[in-house]
A = this chain, B = another copy of it.
Amino acid sequence: MLVPRVWSSVRLGLSRVLSRTLRGWPSGEGRGMDLSGIYPPVTTPFTATAEVDYGKLEENLHKLGTLPFRGFVVQGSNGEFPFLTSSERLEVVSRARQALPKDKLLLAGSGCESTQATVEMTVSMAQVGADAAMVVTPCYYRGRMSSAALIHHYTKVADLSPVPVVLYSVPANTGLDLPVDAVVTLSQHPNIVGIKDSGGDVTRIGLIVHKTRSQDFQVLAGSAGFLLASYAIGAVGGVCALANVLGSQVCQLERLCLTGQWEDAQKLQHRLIEPNTAVTRRFGIPGLKKTMDWFGYYGGPCRSPLQELSPAQEEALRLDFASNGWL
């Protein structure tokens, strides 16, 4: 079990690496980190004047921390990371680590467009408490992001990261699927422990599981909409925006899958699809934050250019939850 090893995650820099070594991991590699479980990709709360509201972040995490999540993702796509400054990004990681129980993994989105910036951000996030770095594919020059370029990028990051690296493919945002052949090659790197795949293509997920089976490589579904199917095909968990508001239900779905209660799992999964689509593809982060307000968390505004929902959109959002019995 990982739990004791996570214990001293707060320590900084080299002592962090050292502590990992003392905790039984070979230094400089991630093998042995067990990612299995559910993670909410937490939102970044802002004040009315668009400052990061760290207090609200902590409040949300305290509430979410009581649920049986494996851990938390900060600065996934739902964390509005492209809108944060570098220092805000680090502060969010640091605050999250402090706010969370010691036994919860903290995966921090450290991706930047350049390899160099990604390395620096990854190292810094590890220093302030990230247990692993979740690294989104660079995408502005997607026409040049061949497998070779992406393998080079991730290898460099993983070589230099003091914490394990999780690949992150999210084509809805990046317009880019991390190619399977690149994933397979990267799975052999001792410091790359898995992938969060948000594309929703279970054939691809199954293939990745299959072709990395000789590696200690773990796949996390990137959304609650295909969580059951991902478990069925070999994923070990999920990073699910919906877990920010229906956290216990998503964890219940996990349990049903893990204990082989597929019939009940299916019924629950069915009722989660529309709410999940509503807070992701359909209404995005503004929809997710609005729903958080309904469910007793702090959602609040997004940073511009993300706009708040219109009344009609808000009504449609509510219906997606109500018609499935969640409101």
Of B1, B49, B206, the residue contacting A270 (CB under 8 A) is: B206
Decide if B150 touches A273 in the complex (CB within 8 Å).
Answer: no
Q: Say whether, besides A114-B303, A229-B202, A305-B114, A141 and B284 are in contact (CB < 8 Å).
A: yes
* A interface secondary structure, majority: helix
Which residues of chain A from 222 to 252 have any CB-CB distance to chain B below 8 Å in the complex? 223, 225-226, 228-230, 232-234
Cα(A65)–Cα(B207), bound, Å: 30
Least CB distance, A44 to chain B, in whole angstroms: 12
Is A149 at the interface (CB under 8 A from chain B)? yes
Chain B neighbourhood of A174, CB < 8 A = 140
Chain B neighbourhood of A226, CB < 8 A = 202-203, 206, 229
Which residues of chain A from 114 to 145 have any CB-CB distance to chain B below 8 Å in the complex? 114-117, 138, 140-145
Chain B residue, CB-CB nearest to A47? B1
Convert A172-208 into 0s and 1s, putting 1 for each residue whose CB lies closer than 8 angstroms to a CB of B. 1111000000000000000000000000111100110
Cα(A325)–Cα(B236), bound, Å: 26
Q: Chain A interface residue count: which class?
A: 35 or more
Decide if B49 touches A2 in the complex (CB within 8 Å).
Answer: yes
Of B1, B153, B201, B206, the residue contacting A51 (CB under 8 A) is: B1
Q: Say whether, besides A203-B277, A262-B260, A269-B233, A83 and B210 are in contact (CB < 8 Å).
A: no
Chain B neighbourhood of A66, CB < 8 A = none
Least CB distance, A243 to chain B, in whole angstroms: 16
Decide if A306 touches B144 in the complex (CB within 8 Å).
Answer: yes
Decide if B153 touches A304 in the complex (CB within 8 Å).
Answer: yes
Decide if A284 touches B229 in the complex (CB within 8 Å).
Answer: no
Chain B neighbourhood of A175, CB < 8 A = 142, 175
Convert A272-286 into 0s and 1s, putting 1 for each residue whose CB lies closer than 8 angstroms to a CB of B. 011011000100111
Chain B neighbourhood of A203, CB < 8 A = 200, 223, 225-226, 229, 273, 276-277
Cα(A213)–Cα(B149), bound, Å: 38
The 6 closest A-B pairs by CB, nearest first: A210-B270, A82-B113, A115-B304, A203-B225, A83-B114, A153-B305
